[in-house]
Amino acid sequence: MSGQKIVVLGTGGTIAGTSAQAGDNIGYTAAQVGVARLLEAVPGLQAMAGTLLAEQVAQIDSKDMDGEVWRALALRCAHHLTDPEVRGIVITHGTDTLEETAWFLHQVLDARKPVVLTCAMRPATALTPDGPQNLLDAVAVATAPGATGVLTVAAGEVHGARHVQKVHPYRVHAFTSGDVGPLAFVEEGAVRLTQNWPPSLDGKAQIAIEKIANIATWPRVEIVVSHAGATGAVVDVLVRDGVQGLVVACTGNGTIHHALEAALVRAQAAGVKVVRSTRCPLGQVLPKPGDVLADSRGLSPVKARIALMLDLLR
């Protein structure tokens, strides 16, 4: 049985962004307002003030997310998740790499309690900011009966870490889980589930977090794209530069321009781990007998990169 406390970890993003002009939705600076002030700005959360604990883990534009912030965030989450007083965690985050942080945390946390990432497409100073409602909805999800796993909440939709993707650079409704659809909707504070809560990774995840606490440098994994006129030049340079893993954003069902593929096969023979994902926004690479390069098992290129980094750590 867990307690009632909800920990809200701030990392920055547009949800904490401000602009000099109230009507400006794009010319703003992300990561300006502290997480405690974001909470104060949501009238619906004032009654819960005694149960909300705000903590600033970082204050960045999430386009600049990196392994060090991920490490700090994962360790704070792991710390709070083991506290019997804590019911769940909410993380305020930029939209740009939200899906990557969600997938990273899903891989390293024993999230038997909900870990809910939320964000905004409009800065806090916009005429109609979306952050306050998203924050309110994220707290509703973190307190929903039975909620587990790493989740994202935005525009009234709840998505699981595995499938969520940002698909629009401007619209408030910017996230989708593609073919799989949202896990739930938040409507006037009520959470309406359309699928089961995602299971947590428990034992396997624990190993990863211990390693993360102690590593000096993250394995270097880069993403390359197959396209018309592709060559192997980038791959050859990366191999010379000591890359340990390569994810290929392939065309269609994992196909690669022949010149790029030849370089990738050479890289694999030299000991670099190579994984194929697809640059198609929906669906996944379906493996075939005789495939020379592994596939990402349904992960998008950016999530396949994180999975490969963690595999290299193991």
For every residue of 23-89, DSSP letters joined together read T-SSS-BSS-S-HHHHHHT-GGGGGGGGGEEEEEEEEE-GGG--HHHHHHHHHHHHHHHT-TTEEEE
Answer for which of 6, 30, 74, 172 binds ligand ASP (CB under 6 A) is: 30
Q: How many CB atoms lie within 10 A of CB 168?
A: 12
Q: How many CB atoms lie within 10 A of CB 212?
A: 20
Answer for which of 19, 25, 62, 92 binds ligand ASP (CB under 6 A) is: 62
List of residues 6+ apart from 217 with CB closer than 8 A: none
Is residue 119 part of the contact set for ligand ASP (CB under 6 A)? yes
Distances from the Cα of 292 to the Cα of 232, 240, 266, 276, 287, angstroms: 17, 22, 11, 10, 10
Q: What angle do CA 10, 18, 120 make, to 5 degrees?
A: 55
Plot region of 142 (φ>0 → left; ψ -120 to 50 → alpha; else → beta): alpha
Least Å distance, CB 165 to ligand ASP, is 14
Answer for which of 34, 44, 48, 61 binds ligand ASP (CB under 6 A) is: 61
Q: Token pair of 81, please?
A: 């998740």
Is residue 177 part of the contact set for ligand ASP (CB under 6 A)? no
63 touches 118 (CB < 8 A): no
Least Å distance, CB 120 to ligand ASP, is 6
Is residue 121 part of the contact set for ligand ASP (CB under 6 A)? yes
Least Å distance, CB 12 to ligand ASP, is 6
Answer for which of 96, 99, 100, 130 binds ligand ASP (CB under 6 A) is: 96
Answer for which of 25, 95, 143, 296 binds ligand ASP (CB under 6 A) is: 95
Q: Note if 14 is an active site residue.
A: yes
Plot region of 157 (φ>0 → left; ψ -120 to 50 → alpha; else → beta): beta
Answer for which of 3, 26, 37, 63 binds ligand ASP (CB under 6 A) is: 63
Is residue 157 part of the contact set for ligand ASP (CB under 6 A)? no
The catalytic residue among 14, 92, 125, 143 is 14
Least Å distance, CB 278 to ligand ASP, is 24
Is residue 101 part of the contact set for ligand ASP (CB under 6 A)? no
Nearer to ligand ASP, 14 or 152 (CB): 14
Positions touching ligand ASP (CB under 6 A) are 12-14, 30, 61-63, 94-96, 119, 121
Catalytic residues: 14
